[in-house]
Amino acid sequence: MAAELEQAIGGLWPYLVVIVIGFLPTEVWRVAGVLAGRNLDENSQVMVWVRMVATALVAGVVAKLLMSPSGALAVVPLWGRLGALAAGVAVYFVARRSVLAGLFVGEMVLIGAGLWGSQL
């Protein structure tokens, strides 16, 4: 059914996907937060569980992006992708919890692995 709809609306399809599959499922929680107002404690058990699920989900996305990458990232071998991630996290701690330092070094290692890997 999705394929037929995609055919029917052509070039507008990506925008429809962004709005219906992306925007609405996200914004509903912000609106709910405003409407529920002050009756909720952010430290309640349900909220802790929600935070754990969201964390695991985002970590899962990262793993999928690294283990089975699409397009340009696939030119870097798996060891290079995982090694760059580990290097970035290590530097984050060494550089007194600096996200930018970790990001920078992770990128450098990845570029190095990409250049080295493409010459083999």
Partner 1 sequence: MRLAGQPDGNGAMFWSSFRAGVRQAAGLPSLVLMASLIGVGGLTRDIGYPIWAGVLSTLLLWAGPAQVLLFGSLAAGASLPAIAIAVSLSSIRFFPMVVSILPLLRGPGVGTGRLLFGAHFVAVTAWTEGRRLLPGLPVEQRYPFFIGFSIMVMAAATFATGAGYYLIAALPAAFAAALLFTTPMFFTLSLVAGSRTLADWAALGLGFALAPLATALVGQDFDLLVVGLVGGTLAYGIHRMRGGR
How is residue 22 written in tokens?
């992306």
63 binds partner 1 (CB under 8 A): yes
94 binds partner 1 (CB under 8 A): no
Q: Which of 9, 79, 94, 103 binds partner 1 (CB under 8 A)?
A: 103
Q: Which of 22, 78, 96, 120 binds partner 1 (CB under 8 A)?
A: 22
| Number of residues engaging partner 1 in binding (CB under 8 A) | 76
Tell me the C-alpha distance between 33 and 50, whole Å.
Answer: 14
Tell me the C-alpha distance between 98 and 42, whole Å.
Answer: 27
How is residue 75 written in tokens?
């030119």
Helix (H) or strand (E) holding 60: helix 45-67
Q: Which of 4, 7, 8, 68 binds partner 1 (CB under 8 A)?
A: 68
